């Protein structure tokens, strides 16, 4: 969840670290801090966003060619100056920043307390740094060795950076379950939770593996495992560009990413889907096509928005491939004793590829002989490396905390996978296969047409921004899209919103309907359309306010709805890629109209790398 940055080299560290923290604020913005080594160890930290930290350090000594920085999403201890990272050892010799959770911190803290240690914060991280100090003193060993010993005792997830006041060149880092990437420069190295703070300086990076320790100096990178055996760093070249992590003239990253979707969906399809030749090529899927098509079931595990993509995948795969599909919340799946058979396919969906619950879930399933198929956005991420096969979504960096372009890219990938497997299995007719390929290829242009309604959707947002509740209803393929629409509104505007299958409305939610309740119907033309019209009439009879997302040419829905958003026609399997766009815009504009920071919604972080 938290964002970490480190630098050691010939430049001044502070500007690099602070700029990196700003690029990682989507990972957490409860507090921020920095530690610099120059004539001693200098630690500055402040509750709130990175801008608060910048104000707090005005006039301070910020010299130093080595530094580490942290932007926090609070786990242990409320957001405050004292709970902000970095934390220093009690003897003041070194400082630590940490992304993750040390689950057995309480027992370690009790042990240290009996030895006379005291604690200034409520964090598990301060316990860890003093545990390392205690080991270093009692074993008369190096800081690197003390860290190695400590990590054999701790339980939980971590990405750790350590600096010592008597070593103005070295950063010691370690990871398990939380991401760490190291950028390789000339006489300098950069460390971060992801590549966004690094891309400005170098495109050569090393992704650190679980249970590895990195000793990083300006001219040296040493990787070791917890057994102190050296590992060979594998250098990867980034294909990300700086423009991808800048706002590009938009007011918010979220709006930029919504408007990027014609391009990101096209990029996702490019080189894979050929409408003229009438085929789809997914090399990662083709390699396992026989095993997937012969699987007795597919289990999809995901969290949040990715879970909604998985729910739509269930509808599509069962329809086109005739394979039973189960969709699981990763956080529940990992703690159950799920029945997983050898040959089952586990499809893991995650934007970051680092989602902690999903990672643990697929590790368990892999041990039981399942085939792991990853759908992720971030190249080199943990889920990508743990999977047997998979497909990258190629949506580019997504900075806004609420997922938009990553979601539609996931849907595009899922549709292509279903086409490949349906064709392989023979459950999809050739004519339907060709039709869906053609329609999928048309999606980027159709999304452009929908985005032209931005101003009218902004006007809708002004009309409904003062609502306290909202219902989102859909049927069939549009039910997961209703769930996603409700989630977006909750995330961005803090309006309580619920998504339901439209027919389930009569089983409870209809009791909420009043003349002030907005009810968003995803009512595009499909096999359920007449049923949805009946549901709209039920809301109309109770004076609810209806916002209908409809297909061009629908003459009935506008007679029932208070407001409509009109979409280009599309097959019902393809339509969810279109119907989600206006709901993203509606949530965005309501959040902005209410004066909220839509890129950094309260209490949320982009990448959930802790339980």
Q: Give the pLDDT score at 118.
A: 93
In this structure, the answer to whether residues 447 and 459 fall within a common structural domain is: no
Contact at 8 Å (CB) between 62 and 157? no
- 257 pLDDT tier (thresholds 50, 70, 90): very high
The per-residue pLDDT for range 340-376, each reduced to its tens digit, is: 888 899 999 998 888 888 888 888 888 888 999 999 9
pLDDT number for residue 247: 75
Residue 471 and residue 342 share a domain: no
Neighbour tally for 201: CB within 10 Å: 18
The values of phi and psi at residue 249, to 5°, are 90, -10
How far is it, in rounded angstroms, from Cα 37 to Cα 152? 28
The CB-side HSE value for 324 (13 A sphere, CA atoms) comes to 4
Indicate whether 343 and 219 sit together in one domain: no
Query: Residue 265 — pLDDT band, cuts 50, 70, 90?
Result: very high
Q: Quick check: is 2 catalytic?
A: yes
CATH number of the domain enclosing 58: 3.60.20.10
Per 3-state DSSP, what percentage of the chain is helix, strand, and coil (rounded to 5)? 40, 25, 35
Beta partners for 523? 550
pLDDT at 610 over 60: no
Known catalytic membership, residue 606: yes
Statement to judge: residues 157 and 238 lie in one domain: yes
What are 170-219's pLDDT values in tens digits? 999 999 888 899 999 999 999 999 888 998 999 999 999 889 999 999 99
Above 60 in pLDDT, residue 475? yes
30-39, 482-491, 533-542: least confidently modelled range = 533-542
CA neighbours closer than 13 Å in the CB half-sphere of residue 459: 6
Domain of 559, CATH number, reads 3.40.50.10490
Taking the C-alpha atoms of residue 178 and residue 1, their distance in angstroms, rounded to an integer, is 8
Tell me, what's the pLDDT at 605? 64
In a domain, 166, yes or no: yes
Q: Which helix H or strand E contains 327, and what residues bound it?
A: strand 325-329
pLDDT of residue 157: 84
Q: Which of 451, 479, 502 is the last residue of a domain?
A: 451
Is 106 among the domain residues? yes
Q: Can you say how many angstroms the Cα of residue 31 is from the centroid of all Cα atoms in its chain?
A: 20
Q: Tally the C-alpha atoms within 13 A of residue 176's C-alpha that lie toward its C-beta.
A: 15
Q: What are the tens digits of pLDDT across the range 177-188?
A: 888 999 999 999
Task: Report yes or no: 85 and 97 within 8 Å, Cβ to Cβ.
Answer: yes
Q: Are residues 157 and 259 in the same domain?
A: no
Q: Give tens-digit pLDDT for 517-547.
A: 899 999 998 888 888 898 888 888 888 899 9
Residue 478 falls within a domain, yes or no?
A: yes
Q: Of residues 109, 364, 525, 606, which has the active-site annotation?
A: 606
Alpha-carbon span 308 to 597, nearest angstrom: 24
Same domain membership, residue 375 and residue 513: no
Is residue 129 located within the same domain as residue 51?
A: yes
Same domain, 444 and 472: no
pLDDT in the model for residue 8: 97
Residue 553 in any domain: the answer is yes
CB 308 within 8 A of CB 318: no
Least confident of 348-357, 568-577, 589-598: 348-357
Whether residue 611 is predicted with pLDDT greater than 60 in this model: the reply is no
pLDDT interval class at 243 (50, 70, 90): low
Q: What per-residue confidence (pLDDT) applies to 417?
A: 96
Phi, psi of 29 (to 5 degrees): -150, 35
Average pLDDT on 559-582 reads 96
Averaged pLDDT, 412-422: 96
Mean pLDDT, the chain, whole residue set? 91
pLDDT in tens, 100-149: 889 899 999 999 999 999 999 999 999 999 999 999 999 999 999 999 99
| Higher per-residue pLDDT: 427 or 530 | 427
Residue that is last in its domain, among 196, 214, 243: 243
Strand order in the sheet with 171-176: 87-88, 94-102, 156-164, 171-176, 212-217, 220-225, 230-231
Chain segment 493-522, per-residue pLDDT in tens:
999 999 998 888 778 878 788 888 899 999
User: Cα 329 from chain centroid?
Assistant: 15
Q: SS3 string of 414-445?
A: HHHHHHHHHHHHCCCCHHHHHHHHHHHHHHHH
Annotated catalytic residue within 2, 268, 303, 321:
2
The total number of structural domains that make up the chain? 3
Residue 537 host element (H or E): helix 529-541
DSSP codes of every residue in 146-176: HHHHHHHH--EEEEEEEEETT-SS-EEEEEE
Residues 8 and 149 in one domain: yes
**249 DSSP 8-state letter:** T
Q: How many CB atoms lie within 10 A of CB 234?
A: 11
Does position 161 have pLDDT exceeding 80, yes or no?
yes
Task: Read off the pLDDT of each residue in 391-400 and give the average, rounded to a whole number.
Answer: 90
Pair (254, 343) in one structural domain = yes
Question: In which domain, by residue range, is 403 found?
Answer: 247-451
Report whether 8 contacts 66 (CB < 8 A).
Answer: yes
């Amino acid at each position: 969840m938290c964002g970490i940055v480190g630098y050691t080299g010939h430049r001044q560290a502070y500007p690099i670290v602070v700029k990196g923290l700003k690029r990682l604020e989507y990972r957490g913005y409860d507090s921020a801090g920095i530690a610099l080594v120059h004539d001693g160890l200098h630690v500055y930290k402040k509750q709130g966003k990175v801008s608060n930290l910048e104000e707090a350090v005005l006039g301070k000594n910020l010299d130093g060619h080595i530094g580490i920085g942290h932007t926090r999403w609070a786990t242990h201890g409320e957001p405050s100056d004292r709970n902000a990272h970095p934390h220093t050892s009690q003897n003041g010799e070194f400082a630590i920043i940490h992304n993750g959770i040390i689950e057995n911190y309480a027992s370690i803290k009790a042990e240290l307390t009996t030895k006379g240690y005291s604690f200034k914060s409520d964090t598990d991280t301060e316990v860890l740094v003093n545990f390392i100090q205690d080991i270093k003193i009692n074993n008369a060993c190096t800081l690197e060795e003390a860290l190695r010993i400590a990590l054999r005792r701790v339980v939980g997830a971590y990405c750790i950076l350590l600096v010592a006041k008597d070593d103005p060149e070295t950063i010691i880092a370690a990871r398990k379950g939380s991401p760490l990437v190291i950028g390789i420069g000339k006489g300098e190295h950069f460390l971060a939770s992801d590549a966004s703070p690094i891309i400005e300086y170098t495109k050569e990076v090393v992704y650190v593996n679980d249970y590895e320790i990195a000793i990083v100096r300006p001219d040296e990178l040493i990787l070791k495992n917890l057994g102190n055996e050296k590992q060979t760093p594998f250098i990867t070249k980034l294909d990300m560009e700086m423009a991808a992590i800048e706002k590009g003239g938009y007011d918010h990253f979220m709006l930029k990413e919504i408007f990027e979707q014609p391009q990101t969906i096209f990029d996702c399809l490019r080189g894979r889907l050929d409408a003229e030749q009438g085929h789809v090529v997914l090399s990662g899927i083709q390699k396992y096509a026989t095993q997937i098509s012969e699987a007795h079931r597919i289990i999809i595990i995901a969290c949040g928005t990715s879970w909604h993509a998985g729910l739509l995948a269930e509808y599509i795969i069962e329809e086109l491939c005739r394979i039973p599909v189960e969709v699981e919340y990763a956080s529940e799946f990992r703690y159950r004793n799920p029945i997983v058979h050898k040959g089952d396919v586990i499809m893991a969906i995650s934007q970051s590829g680092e989602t902690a619950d999903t990672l643990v879930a697929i590790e368990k399933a892999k041990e039981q002989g399942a085939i792991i198929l990853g759908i992720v956005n971030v190249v080199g991420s943990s889920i990508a490396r743990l999977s047997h096969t998979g497909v990258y979504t190629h949506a580019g960096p997504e900075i806004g905390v609420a997922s938009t372009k990553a979601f539609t890219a996931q849907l595009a990938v899922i549709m292509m996978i279903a086409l490949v497997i349906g064709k392989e299995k023979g459950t999809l007719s050739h004519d339907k296969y060709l039709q869906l390929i053609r329609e999928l290829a048309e999606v980027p242009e159709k999304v452009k047409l929908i985005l032209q309604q931005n101003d009218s959707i902004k006007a809708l947002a002004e009309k409904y921004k003062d609502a306290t509740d909202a219902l989102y209803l859909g049927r069939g393929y549009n039910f997961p899209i209703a769930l996603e629409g409700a989630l977006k509104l909750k995330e961005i505007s803090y309006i309580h919103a619920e998504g339901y299958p439209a027919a389930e409305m009569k089983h409870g939610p209809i009791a909420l309907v009043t003349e002030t309740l907005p009810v968003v119907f995803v009512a595009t033309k499909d096999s359920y359309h007449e049923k949805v019209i009946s549901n709209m009439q039920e809301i109309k009879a109770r004076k609810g306010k209806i916002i209908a997302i409809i297909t061009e040419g629908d003459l009935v829905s506008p007679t029932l709805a208070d407001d409509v958003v009109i979409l280009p026609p599309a097959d019902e399997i393809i339509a969810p890629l279109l119907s989600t766009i206006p709901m993203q815009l509606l949530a965005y504009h309501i959040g902005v109209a209410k004066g909220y920071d839509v890129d950094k919604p309260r209490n949320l972080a982009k990448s959930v790398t802790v339980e």
